[in-house]
């Protein structure tokens, strides 16, 4: 893993950036003796782009964390192979994992090694999206997204349920059955912990896809149980799923 010489001005520049950001920010500088020492911080990066890649594939050697009293935190480190630049990225806030559901990742940016110019770019390019993400996290923590109720799982079957908003949910404990569901258009959603067939297909298309999946599963000796889902906490005006699919398809 690539290593490089440390620039001694990271601590000073980070303090200069913190002093120029809107609000009251402080800076804490740390040196890392090896790659493993940085993982405790870099594993919290709120970035799936260039900053996250650099932090995962290079030995940083040192870092600075800019912090605000409300829990906002930014990681600052030397940009690998570019001695005139820093990389700055938000760190994930301390919140339940479910609170991150449907929150846009703010991601980090690359800035010049000049505290004045760097602070200006952080203020205009990074903070707006980061602040929005933090607000959404706090809202989700106070008002959690309701999970879709998964159909009751019967051992050795694929259990499906038609939700009131038209989405079809499926759960199974059979590894081989998941491929049949995916091929039929079901998509696994970790938040809801089930495979979902979007309502955008429309009733007829959904029925055709369910039948295709059921035929393939039956050829594997896997039964499909389809039943109405329990009422979801949604407005009563949402259309209910077709009752004709509340049947059980036995295995052959």
Q: Is residue 150 part of a domain?
A: no
Q: Count of domains in the chain? A: 2
Q: How far apart are CA 248 and CA 98, in angstroms?
A: 33
Position 114 scores a pLDDT of 95
- Can you give the residue range of the structural domain that contains 179? 157-249
Position 11 scores a pLDDT of 94
Are 169 and 134 contained in the same domain? no
Entry pTM = 0.61
183's tokens: 């091929």
Are 168 and 138 contained in the same domain? no
**228 sits in which H/E element:** strand 223-228
Distances from the Cα of 159 to the Cα of 22, 146, 196, 250, angstroms: 52, 20, 12, 12
Are 138 and 174 contained in the same domain? no
Q: How far apart are CA 45 and CA 140, in angstroms?
A: 20
Are 104 and 211 contained in the same domain? no
Are 125 and 211 contained in the same domain? no
Q: Using the 8-state DSSP alphabet, how is residue 22 labeled?
A: S
Position 73 scores a pLDDT of 97
Q: Is residue 5 part of a domain?
A: no
Are 117 and 225 contained in the same domain? no
Q: Is residue 149 part of a domain?
A: no
What percent of the chain shows pLDDT beyond 90?
48
Q: How far apart are CA 129 and CA 136, in angstroms?
A: 11
**pLDDT reading at 153 higher than 90:** no
Are 90 and 118 contained in the same domain? yes
| Alpha helices per DSSP H over 150-190 | 175-183
Query: What average pLDDT does range 86-110 have in this prediction?
Result: 90
Q: Give the pLDDT confidence of 222-240 residue by residue, as tens digits.
A: 888 887 655 544 443 434 4
Are 15 and 122 contained in the same domain? yes
Are 105 and 173 contained in the same domain? no
Q: Is residue 148 part of a domain?
A: no
């Amino acid at each position: 893993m690539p290593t490089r010489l440390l620039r001694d001005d990271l601590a000073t520049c980070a303090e200069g950036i913190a002093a120029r950001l809107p609000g009251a920010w402080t800076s804490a500088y740390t040196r890392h003796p090896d790659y493993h020492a940085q993982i405790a911080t870099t594993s919290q990066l709120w970035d799936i782009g260039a900053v996250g890649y650099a932090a995962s594939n290079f030995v940083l050697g040192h870092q600075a964390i800019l912090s605000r009293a409300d829990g906002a935190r930014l990681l600052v480190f030397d940009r690998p192979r570019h001695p005139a630049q820093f990389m700055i990225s938000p760190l994930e806030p301390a919140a339940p994992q479910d609170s991150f559901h449907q929150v846009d990742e703010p991601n980090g940016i690359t800035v010049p090694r000049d505290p004045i110019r760097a602070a200006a770019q952080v203020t205009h390019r990074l903070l707006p999206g980061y602040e929005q993400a933090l607000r959404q996290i706090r809202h989700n923590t106070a008002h959690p997204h309701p999970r879709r109720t998964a159909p009751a799982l019967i051992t050795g079957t694929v259990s499906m349920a038609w939700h009131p908003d038209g989405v079809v949910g499926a759960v199974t404990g059979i590894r081989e059955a998941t491929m049949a569901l995916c091929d039929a258009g079901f998509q696994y959603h970790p938040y809801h912990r089930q495979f979902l067939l979007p309502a955008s297909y429309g009733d007829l298309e959904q029925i055709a896809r369910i039948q295709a999946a059921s035929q393939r599963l039956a050829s594997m000796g896997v039964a499909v149980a389809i039943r109405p889902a329990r009422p979801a906490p949604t407005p009563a005006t949402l259309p209910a799923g077709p009752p004709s699919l509340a049947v059980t398809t036995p295995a052959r």
